[in-house]
Amino acid sequence: MVRVAVTDLEYRKAETLFVRAADEGCDCVRAPAEEGALAEAIRVGKMRHAIIGVERYHGPLYQALSAGGIIARFGVGHDGVDKAQATARGLLCTNTPGALDDSVAEHTINLLFAAARHTVAQAARLRAGDWAPQMGSELKGKTLAVIGCGAIGRRVGQMAARGLGMKVAGCEVADLDVERLCAECGFASVVRDFGEAVDGADFVSLHIPSLPQTRHFLNGERLRRLPARCWVVNTARGAVVDEAALYDALAGGRLAGAALDVFEQEPYEPAAPGKDLRALANVIMTPHISSSTREACDRMASRALRNILLAEAGKHADMDLLNPEVLAKLGQQS
């Protein structure tokens, strides 16, 4: 039986699957997410692998696991995992690509609807006893700029174009089969230039990874290129948005609104004094729930466990391995 530490929130999201994993030889143990406590639990419990959430891990976790162990990200984004440090320690890092695509895409569309129909504000007013219907807008015929045409961005574009009749413009710096993307997902165009993609947009939805080069991608300069009627939607990573610059654009009336599920600091904290996004009426905020559906969580748990079982079987080529360079190091150690 292989012992696996599973951080508390992730364990609760898919508890049934983690309990059943014993049938496949994995004893999944609930563990704290805080790095020091997690590392101690791994050492005391003699655990070989760890399944973790979005928290950032800087040191003790990598020291607690032995070479050949796995740091399995319960999700897709892996900016909280230090791949270089893991590789130096001989640890394999994995994630769960594809497991949450539909869930995140659906929440993105949910935020588009909430923005267009003022759903959050209207519900709050009615709950407070104020019957004050507010005029909304249809999404059909509106222009959506999808920034980042990976799996989730493509799914959002497909839902918006095929399901809602929106005009979808894509922005992607990687080489793609544009003709195929437009044919399969309904994109009207796919370009490399951000300014060209957002020209005339009613909504801009971010779907780019959090990397050093994408930190504050949506900064003051790019915000100034958005039409004043535009809403920004972010279900990607909080770090890709300069939240202080976003606050200034929203508070100054240079942008219609923002619908945000992810933040640079989670739980949310204002990026700068006096710039609390929660104080703005034209901001919709949800607490990083885009991937939190029963279906997506079950898929993420299954995929994380599958990676662990593949590693135990030595089938590294079939894993969702984020640091394949570690295999050479493990080969030198064996």
User: Catalytic positions, please?
Assistant: 237, 266, 288
If DSSP codes are grouped into helix, strand and coil, which group holds residue 51?
A: strand
Beta-ladder partners of 189: 169
C-alpha gyration radius of the chain: 21
Cα–Cα nearest to 144, from 170, 183, 178, 106 = 170
Amino acid identity, position 96: T
Angle between helices 119-127 and 101-117 (to 10 degrees): 60
By 3-state DSSP, what share of the chain in percent is helix, strand and coil, each rounded to 5?
Answer: 45, 15, 40
Amino acid sitting at position 201:
A
Quickly tell me which residue has 């639990």 as its tokens.
41
- Quote the CA–CA distance of 233 and 257 in Å, as a whole number: 9
Strands 70-73 and 92-94: parallel
Query: Encoding tokens for residue 155?
Result: 């799914």
Cβ atoms of 305 and 312 closer than 8 Å: no
